[in-house]
Structure 1
Amino acid sequence: MKKLAFIFLLATFLLAAALPLEAQETSLGTTPSMSSQDEPPSQSEQEKEQRGQAREFIFVEGSLPYVPTSNTIATKLPLSLQLTPLHVGIVTEALFQEHYDATVSGALMNISNINIQPGNGVNDFFIIRGFDSLSSILIMTDGAPEPETTFYDLYNVETVEVLKGPSGFLYGSNPLAGTVNMVRKQPTSNTAGSARATLGNFNWVEAAGDFNYANTDRDFFFRVNSLFRDRKGYREHIDGRTFAINPAATFTISDKASLTLNSEFVSANYTPDSGLPLAHGEVVPVDRTTNYQSALDSSDQNIYRLQADYQNKISENITLRNKFYYRGLDWLSNGTLFNGIIPVFNQFYMPTGEFLLSRSLILLDDKQNWIGNQLEAVINGSTGSVSHNLLLGFELARQADIFTLDVGVLPDVPLLDPGAPTPGPPFILPMFSQAGDSRAIVAAPYAIDQITFNDRFQVLAGVRVDTIDFSDKTKSVSRRDTKLSPMLGVVFAADDNSSIYANYTRSFAPPAPRVQTGNVLPEEGKQIEAGYKYEFFDQHARATFAVYQLERQNIGIPDANGITQQVGSQRSRGFETELFVETPQGLRFVGSYARNSAELTEFAEQIIIGVDPYFFTPIYGTVDRSGNRPAFAPENIFNSWISQSVSRTFVVGAGARYVSGQFIAEDNEFVIDGVLTFDAMASYAHNDLVFQLNIKNFTNREYDQRGFGDVSVMPADPITVYFGATYQR
């Protein structure tokens, strides 16, 4: 598959270069994007959008992609942001290309109240309103759920949408605190192509291609995006490589029906990074590139995505559509985990003042396969003076996860001089081994109705009922959960430019398989939110302000006997504000600030306090963490980015980001200091070429981020420079 991906990548470059030159200028020194729609909206469509019946995103020459006016994540239908009674954040390709964001984590920095942290160097990891992406956030591609967890590359993405708060009313179980949807580039009705190559320090090499073909009858469109990335990394023995290919084809069956087939393969091979260990409440004073890991550390992922989207407008008021999807993840991973430090004793059993680092190797073999189908009907109608935009749907899905997780003992290494990575197989500790062979069958009807009473007042009501049959052969566990996830939102437009909104949402997740005692209840997430939205400068600027309270309850936590009880709960309260601006004079600004107060309102953590000397099994103890702050839930996050088109060919930009101090674990024993970083860019366009320079962390600030486990931190990259060239025909 790697050879196939490379061949497709090379072919994409050649196709782009072979295209005849078309009369397509480069605007404002940036690369124009091929939109999924190529014609500008008619006047009637614009009037509909102002009334909340929004059209799809359209990015064409002269449009303002920094300030999108509509979204699809809130209702699965195009809906005006101004009249959406939920806080939706959107980042378009124009912004994350200008900032040179490689994966979805980089794009999410531009949305308020999202904390970005490394996922052990092998996956995206982020926190929305104090809740992390592994336990509380649903990630989707083109409206279909993704297994966890990997890097979500942006090479083929047009828009990243974020719906904050529980979103089970549309997307089922697990989105307890938010949903992220990546909208991929779809085949379009014009023939065009582009090729991009980027070099950076730390041996960063990236090449990406985008080719689109349309036949002369305009009833068949084909598009392929491809990516190759290789880097050695700032820290010793940390490298990675990605191959990706995404072909897609659209068939126009009639003037009312179409079918789009989409496939994608990604191969991601990275060395996990455990970071630097902590000792006596401080980061060990060694060179920041020091590596404490074994030579066995690796992470090899193969990701498969298949999707078929069919749409048929059977009448003026009724549209039928069907989405079939498959997602697969094969993941082999070995990662070094730090257990803590051990004092060194001399022959008289007296401490020498030196220390060793105790280490384990975590060995994971995981195969996840998700397959499902979403059948939907979109119905427009009215009851008297009240109009309805109704979506009715039914999802049937099967989710399978087969894994083994083993723990091996690695040799201890000197704390201040670990030396080269140690080879040799670890000694496996069978008492810590885990395995799973789970299946979940999901059947869920859902409905959402946009009810318009007049031009000023609208109600959005949605509900989904999930029935989940879960079984795990290895644990001899089976259960059926049926749960309702409702949403009610109201929005009042004071005038054509401003609106106030409020909503209540609730979602659930099935209880953990190990919850076997007491009254077994699903985990729940619920939110109350209110906000204000304002558009100005003739819709060239948009501001949003929101206040919220978000809770997660019935979290399964093992007790002192190793039996999982449902005693955990977490709450976040705060406010956030965003400002997006793009003027016709070429000034663009994105800024946000969020203040979040997060608390573990009820939380008891199980920790290992020893090993049974006779049976060599772990001895657990329980520590009450109630009242503590969740890990990586900073109180303040500020982000800004500003760019200016000096001419039609030259653009400069700069940005700042501040994240306040944050704890690395629920015990709140070690805090990462707050940090302020700066980025900058410049681009120059000449004929079919665009040259771009990006500098990240250009003040070379040293700071730490999330490590692997609760006794390590990962040094952030120092100043990093990227230079790229894009060729577009």
Structure 2
Amino acid sequence: MTRKVFSTIIFIVIAGCLSPLCAQHKISGIVKSDDGKLLRSVQVQIEKTSLTTLTDENGYFEFPDINGEKAALVFDHTAYHIDREEVNLPAIGLVIVLSPRENALELEEVVIDGYIKKNTSTSNKMPLNFIENPQAFSSIDQSVLEDQVLFTVDDAYRNVTGLQKKWNATNRAGDGGSYVVLRGFLANNSLRNGLVAPVTTAIDAINIEKVEVLKGPSATLFGSNVTSYGGVINRITKKPFETFAGNVTVAAGGYNYYRARADVNTPVTKDNKLMFRINTAYTNSGNFQKKDAKNEHFAFTPSLLYKPNDRLDIQVDFEMFDTKAIPEQILFSPASVPALGIADMNDLEDILGLDYKQSYIGDGLKTRAKVRNLSGQVNYKINNHIRSSTNISTSYTFSDGPNPAFYIVPKGTFTQDPADTEIGLLRFDQSTVNSKKTYFQVQQNFNLDYNFGNVRNRTVAGFDYMRTKDDQKFISTYFDWVPFSGADYSGFNGKAVQAIYDNTPNPATYLSTGNLNTYSGYISNVLTPVEGLNIMAGIRYESNDFGGGYTMTSNSISPAYSQSAWSPKLGVVYEIFRNKFSVFGNYQNSFKSNGYYIADTDGNALLSDPEKGNQWEGGLKMNVLQNRINATLSYYNIKVKNSLLLTGELTSSMQYVQAQAGELTSEGVELEVNAYLVKGFSLIGGISYNDAEVTENKVNPALVGTRPVDAGSKWLANFNVNYRFLDGNIKGLGFGLGGNYASDNNVTGDFILPEYFILNANAFYDTKRFRIGVRYDNITNKHYWIGYQTANPQALANVVGSLAFKF
């Protein structure tokens, strides 16, 4: 029945678009500067209507259906004078030439493509202007990374309001990527160009055009298995283009940091229909605790684009990330010791002598990790109203080797002698053994833009199949206990750890295995009944078929199951002042199939109900002063129910007993501002407050009313100010200053990672043929910690410089 309903909806929409109501005129063309440069991100509006679009990377724009015999087009770009053109319909192949504002040629990329938030075609799988989008989102353009001399997506997160890093990449297969908190919930990188493509190492930003962070539950369009209740991270990658160009960059810095990278684009055929682009980089570095670590990272990301005509384009992208590195030092089980006056990590340093700069490991404890993401996309314009996008993607993550970590415990935990009360570090290893996790995804989307009478509809309808295969094996062993200072720590090394495993026939082993098939269908429509009012409604039906396997959550074999759920989405935007100021609200949903759980000490298994998260959000959006100030202010309330909780009990076969007995609420306020304030001066920044609370815990009622230990800090703030000289003898010289603040973070219920405020600076000199950049991280040399129920020390002051040659 579900399939019939879904098919009927799609048929009605498509049939409507083929009706006489859609028999209207087309407007299309390109926009370029007076020196012949094709201009992207020019806003094109049909005067006295709500119809707007942006030019693409080739300067192209299109309106498929326009009523009447004439139309007036307004072309608006911060770096160029506004132009108005009257045209007779149909108007195909227009060439619009814009003249630059005085001394403002350099503003194009910096203001429009970088520091001022852009419109998006990806956050809702359809083109939407920022001001008419009912969802809150943040975006980081590659030009921001370039100015700040940032080489990884993980470092770029410092520019996202309401995002807090919890854990840097551990490199292990499956879940080894960095973890962040969004709106009080853990999230991980998961999407590339809207398709599943997780990276389990640090994410090199060589092929990044933009990073979008969508706020709130987003399962309706992106599915339940790769999204968080707090949001989802989507990497938009660079595309090939029609001219030969590129750059080669070298960089070096503290902690023995060395890097080389190249970005080369070229047309393959004389008619420029086939284009190729390759980005590649090699990085070798130590860290602030182990300067001679020689961690190696290699990235190789080619892309091929074929455009035989203006209706069809075919693109193939590949990502290869190879890593051989030690993870950051992760300290488990931090706990307060009131008798010793210890309540946070500062106390552990000041009272017990924990050495922030000390590496507590020797050599040879590197994990070898691989990531392979391959995707193909075929976009076809069926007619002026319907576009088809067919996508196939595979993703593969692999890891093998040691993964050292530490428990903060009394010595007696290791020696079993109660008299050994000195607190130090229990060193242990959790290795992965040829662990793999793979995804295969097929996704078909139809985008429609059509009118019923004078009512505009923008629709996306699609289906998605994804197969997830998990085949991971972990082995672990305790190594020894050491004091916080004054010891020789080199004995905890690769050879010594391997010797323990060689002499232990049956080491502690944990498995994560199984095959999951996910079938989904979805439809979302934006209705514009009157100018300035947009109403979005969408729904997804998703079925998860698990073939059975071993789950680490229960430490047991989970039976096969099939479970499905609906995920609705609603949104309303009203533009109080057209294209300048709007009020918005949304309802967003996500869910999670947790499968079977062990319900009692007898080992009885029950199929859990889907865990569900529902968000209500409302706020204001502003885009004023000729697109120079862009801001979002929002309040959200997210409620999650049917969570599985550990009871603390074990079965006789050491299975973990759970209960479906948890509920929580997360509400908060976010303010994000992107502004070009005066000539050459830009600002990106924001502040957020989150109040997450356990509202039901039948296992441990004492936790009701407390903040979840993985919810992160209540208060977060970020900013970056950037000034660039736009003319004169030092044109292209720029400076930036940024900072991040996080309030106290209670990671265990009784232990605090103290608040921190980190300052960073950057400078650059950009010319037509070369670019010099330098960044200075953690200027004040602050000791600060992040953690996911852990304490992970972060890098001290460091300087990195780069030199790029352009061609």
TM-score, structure 2 length as denominator? 0.78
Residues 301 and 352 (structure 1), Cα distance of their counterparts in 2 relative to 1, 3 Å cut = closer
Q: What residue is the counterpart of 1:383 in the other structure?
A: 452
Residues 48 and 510 (structure 1), Cα distance of their counterparts in 2 relative to 1, 3 Å cut = farther
Q: Does the 8 Å contact 2:739/2:757 carry over to 1?
A: yes
SS at match of 1:426: helix
SS at match of 1:638: strand
Once the two structures are overlaid, the 10-residue window that deviates more, 380-389 or 178-187, is 380-389
Q: How does 1:425-440 map to 2 (within 5 A)?
A: 425-426=499-500, 432-440=508-516
Q: Does the 8 Å contact 1:177/1:525 carry over to 2?
A: no
Q: Does the 8 Å contact 2:776/2:800 carry over to 1?
A: yes
Q: What residue is the counterpart of 1:489 in the other structure?
A: 571
Select the structure with the greater relative contact order (CA < 8 A; seq sep ≥ 6).
1
Q: 1:638 is matched by which residue type in structure 2?
A: A
Residue 344 (structure 1) shift: 6.1
Q: Does the 8 Å contact 2:197/2:373 carry over to 1?
A: no
Q: 1:540 is matched by which residue type in structure 2?
A: R
Residue by residue, what CA displacement relative to the aligned partner does 1:112-149 show, whole Å, maximum 9, x if unpaired? 11112332654422110111125xxx620111113463
Once the two structures are overlaid, the 10-residue window that deviates more, 431-440 or 276-285, is 276-285
Residues 566 and 385 (structure 1), Cα distance of their counterparts in 2 relative to 1, 3 Å cut = same
Once the two structures are overlaid, the 10-residue window that deviates more, 679-688 or 56-65, is 56-65
Q: What residue is the counterpart of 1:656 in the other structure?
A: 739
Q: What residue is the counterpart of 1:479 in the other structure?
A: 561
Q: What residue is the counterpart of 2:402 in the other structure?
A: 334
Residue by residue, what CA displacement relative to the aligned partner does 1:364-404 show, whole Å, maximum 9, x if unpaired? 23211101111111122222221111111111121111111
Hey, what's the Cα distance between the residues in 2 that align with 1:642 and 1:147?
A: 31
Q: How does 1:401-480 map to 2 (within 5 A)?
A: 401-419=470-488, 420-423=490-493, 424=496, 425-426=499-500, 432-474=508-550, 475-480=557-562
Q: What residue is the counterpart of 2:620 in the other structure?
A: 532
Q: 1:253 is matched by which residue type in structure 2?
A: P
Residue by residue, what CA displacement relative to the aligned partner does 1:37-65 show, whole Å, maximum 9, x if unpaired? 94447885676996355555789964222
Report how many aligned residue pairs link the two structures: 670
Tell whether 2:663 aligns with 1:557.
no
Hey, what's the Cα distance between the residues in 1 that align with 2:394 and 2:296?
A: 24
Q: Does the 8 Å contact 1:341/1:415 carry over to 2?
A: no
Q: How does 1:159-178 map to 2 (within 5 A)?
A: 159-174=210-225, 175=227, 176-178=229-231
Residues 148 and 391 (structure 1), Cα distance of their counterparts in 2 relative to 1, 3 Å cut = same
Q: What residue is the counterpart of 2:777 in the other structure?
A: 696
Residues 701 and 337 (structure 1), Cα distance of their counterparts in 2 relative to 1, 3 Å cut = closer
Tell whether 2:242 aligns with 1:189.
yes
Q: How does 1:97-496 map to 2 (within 5 A)?
A: 97-119=146-168, 122=171, 123-134=177-188, 139-147=190-198, 149-174=200-225, 175=227, 176-214=229-267, 215-236=269-290, 238-275=293-330, 278=334, 280=337, 281=342, 282-283=347-348, 284-293=352-361, 295=363, 297-343=365-411, 351=419, 354-355=422-423, 357-365=425-433, 366-419=435-488, 420-423=490-493, 424=496, 425-426=499-500, 432-474=508-550, 475-496=557-578
Residues 700 and 413 (structure 1), Cα distance of their counterparts in 2 relative to 1, 3 Å cut = closer
Hey, what's the Cα distance between the residues in 2 that align with 1:108 and 1:558?
A: 32
Q: Does the 8 Å contact 2:540/2:568 carry over to 1?
A: yes
Identity of aligned residues (%): 21
Q: 1:86 is matched by which residue type in structure 2?
A: Q
Q: Could you tell me which of 664, 676, 682 is aligned with 1:570?
A: 664
Residue by residue, what CA displacement relative to the aligned partner does 1:151-202 show, whole Å, maximum 9, x if unpaired? 2221110101111111111011132321111000011112101111111100
Larger radius of gyration: 2
Once the two structures are overlaid, the 10-residue window that deviates more, 40-49 or 526-535, is 40-49
Hey, what's the Cα distance between the residues in 2 that align with 1:362 and 1:603?
A: 31
Hey, what's the Cα distance between the residues in 2 that align with 1:603 and 1:300?
A: 40
Q: What residue is the counterpart of 2:763 in the other structure?
A: 682
Q: 1:151 is matched by which residue type in structure 2?
A: A
Residues 476 and 129 (structure 1), Cα distance of their counterparts in 2 relative to 1, 3 Å cut = closer
SS at match of 2:146: helix
Residues 687 and 312 (structure 1), Cα distance of their counterparts in 2 relative to 1, 3 Å cut = closer
Hey, what's the Cα distance between the residues in 1 that align with 2:577 and 2:58?
A: 25
Residues 303 and 38 (structure 1), Cα distance of their counterparts in 2 relative to 1, 3 Å cut = farther
Hey, what's the Cα distance between the residues in 1 that align with 2:470 and 2:608?
A: 22
SS at match of 1:97: helix
Residue by residue, what CA displacement relative to the aligned partner does 1:530-578 show, whole Å, maximum 9, x if unpaired? 0100111211210110000112322222222422221223321110101
Q: How does 1:65-104 map to 2 (within 5 A)?
A: 65=113, 66-104=115-153
Residue 600 (structure 1) shift: 2.6
Residue 597 (structure 1) shift: 0.7
Q: Does the 8 Å contact 2:464/2:519 carry over to 1?
A: yes
Residues 43 and 442 (structure 1), Cα distance of their counterparts in 2 relative to 1, 3 Å cut = closer
Hey, what's the Cα distance between the residues in 1 that align with 2:701 and 2:361?
A: 29
Hey, what's the Cα distance between the residues in 2 that align with 1:544 and 1:50?
A: 20
Q: 1:504 is matched by which residue type in structure 2?
A: Y
SS at match of 1:507: strand
Hey, what's the Cα distance between the residues in 1 that align with 2:688 and 2:755?
A: 14
Hey, what's the Cα distance between the residues in 1 that align with 2:250 and 2:181?
A: 31
What do you get for the CA RMSD once the two structures are aligned?
2.9
Hey, what's the Cα distance between the residues in 2 that align with 1:87 and 1:673?
A: 29
Residue 102 (structure 1) shift: 2.5
Q: 2:619 is matched by which residue type in structure 1?
A: G
Q: What residue is the counterpart of 1:511 in the other structure?
A: 594
Hey, what's the Cα distance between the residues in 2 that align with 1:361 and 1:181?
A: 32
Once the two structures are overlaid, the 10-residue window that deviates more, 422-431 or 672-681, is 422-431
Tell whether 2:693 aligns with 1:599.
yes
Q: Which runs of 5+ in 2 are unaligned?
A: 1-31, 60-104, 172-176, 551-556, 600-604, 651-655
Residue 664 (structure 1) shift: 2.0
Q: 2:277 is matched by which residue type in structure 1?
A: R
Hey, what's the Cα distance between the residues in 2 that align with 1:672 and 1:369?
A: 35
Residue 421 (structure 1) shift: 3.5
Hey, what's the Cα distance between the residues in 2 that align with 1:42 and 1:72?
A: 15
Hey, what's the Cα distance between the residues in 2 that align with 1:47 and 1:521?
A: 51
Residues 374 and 49 (structure 1), Cα distance of their counterparts in 2 relative to 1, 3 Å cut = farther
SS at match of 1:96: helix
Hey, what's the Cα distance between the residues in 1 that align with 2:376 and 2:144?
A: 29
Q: 1:718 is matched by which residue type in structure 2?
A: L
Residue 297 (structure 1) shift: 2.9
SS at match of 2:713: coil
SS at match of 1:494: strand
Residues 320 and 113 (structure 1), Cα distance of their counterparts in 2 relative to 1, 3 Å cut = same
Hey, what's the Cα distance between the residues in 1 that align with 2:48 and 2:270?
A: 31
Hey, what's the Cα distance between the residues in 2 that align with 1:48 and 1:555?
A: 50
Hey, what's the Cα distance between the residues in 2 that align with 1:411 and 1:697?
A: 33
Residue by residue, what CA displacement relative to the aligned partner does 1:677-700 show, whole Å, maximum 9, x if unpaired? 111111113451111111111122
Q: 1:493 is matched by which residue type in structure 2?
A: E
Hey, what's the Cα distance between the residues in 2 that align with 1:48 and 1:704?
A: 53
SS at match of 1:433: strand
Residue 286 (structure 1) shift: 3.5
Q: What residue is the counterpart of 1:5 in the other structure?
A: none
Residue 627 (structure 1) shift: 2.7
Q: Which runs of 5+ in 1 are unaligned?
A: 1-23, 26-36, 606-621
TM-score, structure 1 length as denominator? 0.86
Q: Does the 8 Å contact 1:147/1:370 carry over to 2?
A: no
